[in-house]
Structure 1
């Protein structure tokens, strides 16, 4: 099935956009996990329209119910990657979905990892993008740092370049629902906590909390779940630090790809995210209608 727009993230920005795109009769799919930071908000007292305090969970559940009522498709799956061909392919832990346009609205990345030497070696053996940098590690020893499906997906992205791939879970249990034995036949799994990374001008070694170490040519960070910035980097979208660069219409530098909410930086408030979602939706609707007119002319 081809969707007019796929919205990645079901927080305030994503759900707000879905309200507009579905009302404009665009086939809309919202994909996300129940991991919005808003779920942790016990009381929200500064959001317009409520005479009493409301929890973040209540606000999200109401927004999701509203989007469903209007006709949006909403699924709870983890998005692992996004590819751009003629249209956009959104890869989840369960399936691949295709959309003419995509709105990134998954919030900002998880907090930075506190591993000695990691920051200093970013761009010198430490990378956050297998698509961007995997080519440079042909037939070398590489690692992926993470313990969830995103880390396994990134390890699989490295297979065309090297077969010497280790997944470092940093002391956490590997969360994987597939064939574990088959996974171990492809990748080495190390579950020890990572203490530090070392190298003079380039990454050379990874050290563990138990005092052991091993040589390593490259390390790709895929901690927790993928964020909008992770997807953006792979697609060639402009970023500034941990934020996606979007213009006043929430457009990125790639046509058909939009971003809204906390992933764009700025004032992190529900009202801001909702407003950006609405702006992005308006431009998505305009672009969809423009494409429809072009097809009619042809």
Structure 2
């Protein structure tokens, strides 16, 4: 890896790979830095059925491989490293610290480090990921036609996606640890009016059960300590997401959860620093809009490079 680039893209998920594709095609001096395997969260997605251009669907692994191959066809420069910190005080030269003892500089930076779904950390959750345990209702709902599923959570996302799931599932249980939802009233009203939804109040999932075919049920414990088994074929854990902001400078404005604030052109409050994908503060987190934001971010970065020439 060189010591200086015109553009550094941080993160190799759909947003980062798309930004990398655009940068490589534009022949911008660049590097994409990824701490692990390229692909991001979609690498953990069993099947993607709603990405345009693939009418038969494809696995998350296959989609990420195709994105990477597409960018590499135009000579994407990708390196593996962990960014431990950054100095953005110089408007025309950003400094990234790698693996604790190296540094690399750039004129413009695109942050695409993504986010991770919050887990409930119970036995069976990891074992049945992509085999009945999901973290995205709008992504995976079509796989649960005429099945009984459980949604864990009580906020807007959980309740909205529970309502969406009723378009496919025969029954949707909303499991909430309290006796009232945190979702806004209008969202609650839609759920209460849906006869496919049943609420399981004052209860928490203690474990997820399954067999070789996938999830078969969830064990519940209510506030009185009583335990029961709820038979379902899918569990949607929707208790929020957390940003992957390790190493990101705190001078970049973020919301109260740590997601970066950007404008419509993906620009942060720091000149020459863009952000795209799930690291951004927004309502919708899908592969399709992450990829679109990656393209916009690179075009904004290119505009910044042109503005500081000379």
Give the TM-score range, shorter chain. Answer: 0.5 to 0.7
Structure 1 residues 114-263: aligned runs within 5 Å = 228-263=244-279
Q: Is the 8 A contact 2:85 2:248 kept in 1?
A: no
1:250 to partner: Cα distance: 0.4
TM-score normalised by structure 2 residue count: 0.54
Structure 1 residues 71-90: aligned runs within 5 Å = 71-86=75-90, 87-90=93-96
Q: Is the 8 A contact 2:87 2:249 kept in 1?
A: no
> What is the alpha-carbon distance in structure 2 between the residues aligned to residue 280 and residue 287 of structure 1?
10
2:56 is aligned to 52
Q: Is the 8 A contact 2:81 2:98 kept in 1?
A: yes
| SS state at 1:235 partner | coil
CA RMSD of aligned residues (A): 2.3
> What is the alpha-carbon distance in structure 2 between the residues aligned to residue 41 and residue 111 of structure 1?
15
TM-score normalised by structure 1 residue count: 0.56
Matched, 1:20 2:22: yes
Q: Is the 8 A contact 2:41 2:116 kept in 1?
A: no
1:277 is aligned to 294
Matched, 1:287 2:304: yes
> What is the alpha-carbon distance in structure 1 between the residues aligned to residue 267 and residue 305 of structure 2?
14
> What is the alpha-carbon distance in structure 2 between the residues aligned to residue 65 and residue 95 of structure 1?
28
1:239 to partner: Cα distance: 3.1
1:9 is aligned to 11
Count of paired positions: 182
Which of the residues 21, 44, 65 maps onto 1:61?
A: 65
From the superposition, tell whether residues 3 and 276 of structure 1 become closer, same or farther in structure 2 (CA, over 3 Å).
same
Pick which of 246-255 and 47-56 moved more: 47-56
> What is the alpha-carbon distance in structure 1 between the residues aligned to residue 245 and residue 255 of structure 2?
7
1:91 is aligned to 97
> What is the alpha-carbon distance in structure 2 between the residues aligned to residue 112 and residue 24 of structure 1?
39
User: More strand by proportion, 1 or 2?
Assistant: 2
Task: Please say which structure displays the higher CA radius of gyration.
Answer: 2
From the superposition, tell whether residues 57 and 254 of structure 1 become closer, same or farther in structure 2 (CA, over 3 Å).
same
| Unaligned residue ranges in structure 2 (runs of 5+) | 122-241
> What is the alpha-carbon distance in structure 2 between the residues aligned to residue 109 and residue 40 of structure 1?
11
Which of the residues 96, 111, 121 maps onto 2:118?
A: 111
| SS state at 1:243 partner | coil
> What is the alpha-carbon distance in structure 1 between the residues aligned to residue 24 and residue 73 of structure 2?
10
| Unaligned residue ranges in structure 1 (runs of 5+) | 115-225
From the superposition, tell whether residues 113 and 232 of structure 1 become closer, same or farther in structure 2 (CA, over 3 Å).
farther
After TM superposition, where is structure 1 displaced by more than 3 Å over at least 4 residues in a row? 109-114, 226-233
